[in-house]
Chain A
Amino acid sequence: MSTHEYRLIASTKSPEDLVRHDRVDVSLYNDPALFEAELEKIFYRTWVWVAHESEVRNSGDFKTATIGRRPVIVVRDKKNSINVLENRCRHRGATVCEKHKGNATGFTCPYHSWSYGLDGKLRALPYPDGYEGILEKSELPLTSLRVESYAGMIFASYNDEIEPLEDFLGGARHWIDLFMKQGAGYPIKTQGEHKFSFKGNWKIQLENTTDGYHFPIVHKSFMSSVDEETSQMLSFMTDEQAVTHSLGNGHSVMVMVPEHVDLDHDDGTEQLQERFAHVTEELSKTLPPEQVRRIVRSLHGAGFNLNLFPNVAMSMSFFRVLRPVSVTETEIRHVALGMDGGPDIANRERLRIHEHFQGPFGFGSPDDAEAWDRVQRGSYAGVDAPILVNRGLNREITAENGDKVSHATDEGGMRGAYDMWKRMMSQ
């Protein structure tokens, strides 16, 4: 079947047909028409994560980001407000900024020098006599998006009618609060990022963040490269306390290290890992034992992966950000985190932990990418065979707060994400 014929068939199916409670149609991975619909109905309609506040700390600090395929600038203005502006001159459409990050007093289009303030206002344009009486500068700012943040996580939306961010996050807020505790008394800051892309659909990555089932298989080489204590810590396959919650609105959380879910909780029985002995020793020279313990217990991050639909995850010690490039290509960023103002030796240890697993050269991510690449390639063979997301349906329960809970190796998080996909695609 040609791609064209296939697309015709897929596009005749409704979201209800494409996503069932225990399976999804394989065209979700490879139908270009569905991808275009996803951009319109999901990425340009919902809250999309664009930055962490530590990335735009001071007035003039900016970073560029992409929502769907639309380039935007996240910038803190002189009034200390964070703006998310379309990175597109209102004159003939050129991007006004091509740096990943920096500090600026404004943005000037390189084509005809239209210049904009940090709040997006059009400040000046050259040779204005050609516009006298036909152009009002106040009507042509850089287009700004709706912006809200929670716990330092900045989200933007193209949808002016969207519900408040806090409502959208819902039950995930509790887990965001827990995640931030890895600062061990310090605020969280970003410490650089790994970026890599794979030739597959974005939802393959979305699924993966709460896919505990793959961990000991795909990451066998990583697990054999870490010390015994870390390996034990990450061995959750038969741990009954390792659970996945589907939190509503497509968000989910997978608990892998139950004793590190709330890092403020410390019954004192946990031995600090031997691999961090040099950190413990150094910190102990200047800090009280409780604080040393608090910092060292937090070096691996929180004991869970929180997946926020559609584009960001707070995974143990880092943020995972996905960007859909095309129906068959996705860019992933793994943002390293540290303690803002915290001890250098601990922040550096966190960098080394990040380098060990993450990124295109890590001991973990390349193996994920290999698996995802194959999912995409295999999807073309299985036109009549759905993608299964039924694992653990036999043991899923509904908690008092409405969370659907099953084991960390189950696919409840994916089912929750696809429910949200169906809801948004049915709009």
Chain B
Amino acid sequence: MMRRAFFPLLSSVAAALCSCSSNSGAPAVFQTSQPDIVFALGSREGFVSPLNASLKPACPALEFRGTSYALTGAHRRALAQLAKGWSEGGKPKYVLAGYTPPEMTEDYARALSERRALAVRQALIEQGIEAASLQTVGFGQDSAPSGPTTGVVVIYKQ
């Protein structure tokens, strides 16, 4: 009897723990807070697209699962590391490019990849990188097959 009652409890705890990274509608244990201020994008002048030049990623690509655009702890740690070296590295500019796998519908893929890139941008601004140094682009699946074909945000150094 005790075991029967324990299983649903265990599964609900597991589901709640999972939801904090999958951004589902279920209540999360560690809620991802919505930003108080969403920073508008600055001018695109001086930024080069990864389509026009061979740009080097500033850090490993940030992977997103399913349709989530919430940042995980691993994402935040990687971004904190990047932000830490930003001012010492001469305050470089970054283009944050979002990509999705090919099975998504096209227009939603563009919106989702842009939304993920903007979530990364927001986190970098909160970590101290100037908003004017960051530009986003959501390629969705339009850059395939030459570009990434998974759900990632790549941070390209200018």
Check if A and B associate: no
B residues with a Cβ closer than 8 A to A are none
A residues with a Cβ closer than 8 A to B are none
